Structure 1
């Protein structure tokens, strides 16, 4: 009987892992096929995992079965993400005034979300993940910082859904409203999108789906400008990872994710400078699919481990309030800072 039970548990565990891989791969391929900025495979995989878990009830309550999945695929994603995005020569090429404004915007994100978390009694891990995802790079920042915090699947799910929901509101409501109301130029709109919007795909969408912008800069140049500003925010992870890890552990902490992130970033920077053609034309087209697929699988596993009841709890509502208020404060800070600079 004991042996039979063990065999059954091993079989269920393997099926659970295969299910996570299937869901993550499916939505990765879906995004590649559709090619839309709105079909973020990380978010879709997470939501699909949560939905499957909710529909099957206790069938997939083998949380330990999914541990090997995100313990393997998140570090793989971190490495290849840093090779592509933590390019120091590119990220530090912004003007000092614009870099200073980015730092201020990220700081306002963190301070606002932290203060609201303390005031509302939010779970600290959710506050930390929501702040990192809002201030830096959305789902990617949450994926990178979650191992450093030993975050539970429910914490990751709540934070990511709150950040993604707020980003949708910012993309389709807040930014178009401000752009039309103040007749923003294409350049200003691109700078604002890169400085404030949480998800990189939404930054691309923002400048590509706003036809009423004034100015004569082509859409392709606006996208390049917005993404270059967004890239400057990736540097915030160099501070966020050790800071949040230390706060979570109540002692100085330099987690392994920081060293993987920095090491891969230095490697990518070196390759881009020594072999620019190879880096741009051969390496980058391979690197991005690897980290997107890895994180999609990890997010599917996290969704399958999450408890749908936690998403409907007061923690979920508080995370939405934190993310939305943080975004509004960041928007106000950006335009105030831009007025001072220019």
Structure 2
């Protein structure tokens, strides 16, 4: 009997590790693909999702390895979000002045509210609308995966939202690059526009290149201001959903409180990085680990999704993302001229 129990424990452990290793391999492969032309704009996370989907459609994902895949999509995801805070230097945002923060606050609040209203008008699932609104307003896939656990979003909704944001951001990057060559806009203003309105950091970096160093510096700075707003936005959204889904008989505990602990970990890493005590090479290494962990989580999502859920979002869900992105661009143009 003891030998049988030991065998079962050993098998469960092996299956668990096998699931994690599968997400790791897919994430590493996605990282290699992301270095190729065009794919670099898409970003490693969306490529990881697509690879996970492709693997599931071609190969069979054993039921036993599910525990390891789930570990990647939940535990490693949160650790990746915490380490992602090292990207953010709060001192640089403060030194940029209040005008940049005003722009970022207006952009984030406007985008989230208008897209949620659009979702209601088009009768799109509220959870999905919230995900794609957060991704559009703040920092793309990173915001989506950070918000998702707080609102108990389905894996399928997360995958669709991340994919939508990636495609829209990629289209936006190409459009902005062409637009800069046509319109009469100085490098500084163009950088502010790019940083205030594009989705992913990769999109911002790529689109800002035509404007030169000044444009790139301003674009990244403005974008980092939006990333910083992930913390208060996550707390507010988490609290709203927790209140709406509250149960009369539910007892109050640490687990039931709408406190996104990993977001505070994100803030802690940001504060630590802002002190300047960490060596640059260590920060770069930890950020690369963060990207790898988030990519593993996205690969896990791709391996876990149920294609039947895609129908529930439909064209209207994607339309919310398209209209929201267009309105964000128009707002950005207005803010640049007023600024």
The aligned residue for residue 132 of structure 1 is 134
If the length of structure 1 is used for normalisation, what is the TM-score?
Answer: 0.84
Shift in CA distance, 250/121, structure 1 to aligned 2, threshold 3 Å: farther
The aligned residue for residue 76 of structure 1 is 79
1:245 and 1:253 in contact (8 A); partners too: yes
**1:295-332: CA deviation from partner (whole Å, max 9, x where unpaired):** 11111011100123333x14052332111111111111
> For 2:178 and 2:121, how far apart are their aligned partners in 1?
30
- What is the count of residue pairs matched by the alignment? 323
Q: Write the mapping of 1:154-233 to structure 2, written as runs, cut at 5 A.
A: 154-173=156-175, 175-176=176-177, 178-208=179-209, 210=210, 219-233=212-226
1:158 and 1:316 in contact (8 A); partners too: no
> For 1:124 and 1:6, how far apart are their aligned partners in 2?
41
SS of match in other structure, 1:291: helix
Shift in CA distance, 190/65, structure 1 to aligned 2, threshold 3 Å: same
Runs of 4+ that moved beyond 6 A: 2-10, 33-36
Q: 1:52 aligns with which of 51, 55, 58?
A: 55
SS of match in other structure, 1:92: helix
The aligned residue for residue 337 of structure 1 is 335
> For 1:316 and 1:302, how far apart are their aligned partners in 2?
19
The aligned residue for residue 143 of structure 2 is 141
The aligned residue for residue 67 of structure 1 is 70
The aligned residue for residue 303 of structure 2 is 304
2:61 and 2:303 in contact (8 A); partners too: no
> For 2:107 and 2:304, how far apart are their aligned partners in 1?
33
> For 1:316 and 1:157, how far apart are their aligned partners in 2?
14
2:155 and 2:304 in contact (8 A); partners too: yes
The aligned residue for residue 269 of structure 1 is 274
SS of match in other structure, 2:21: helix
> For 2:166 and 2:229, how far apart are their aligned partners in 1?
19
Shift in CA distance, 323/243, structure 1 to aligned 2, threshold 3 Å: same
> For 1:12 and 1:258, how far apart are their aligned partners in 2?
30
2:86 and 2:269 in contact (8 A); partners too: yes
SS of match in other structure, 1:184: coil
Does residue 253 of structure 1 match 2:258?
Answer: yes
The aligned residue for residue 228 of structure 2 is 235
**What's the Cα RMSD here?**
2.8
> For 1:40 and 1:125, how far apart are their aligned partners in 2?
24
User: Unpaired runs of 5+ in structure 1?
Assistant: 214-218
State which drifts further: 93-102 or 322-331: 93-102
2:12 and 2:64 in contact (8 A); partners too: no
SS of match in other structure, 1:206: helix
2:138 and 2:199 in contact (8 A); partners too: yes
> For 2:242 and 2:125, how far apart are their aligned partners in 1?
14
The aligned residue for residue 216 of structure 1 is none
**1:188-234: CA deviation from partner (whole Å, max 9, x where unpaired):** 221111110001111111122x4xx6xxxxx2332122111111111
> For 2:24 and 2:59, how far apart are their aligned partners in 1?
17
> For 1:61 and 1:332, how far apart are their aligned partners in 2?
49
The aligned residue for residue 317 of structure 2 is 319
Quick one: higher RCO (CA 8 Å, sep 6+), 1 or 2? 1
User: Unpaired runs of 5+ in structure 2?
Assistant: 245-256
2:43 and 2:166 in contact (8 A); partners too: no
The aligned residue for residue 40 of structure 1 is 43
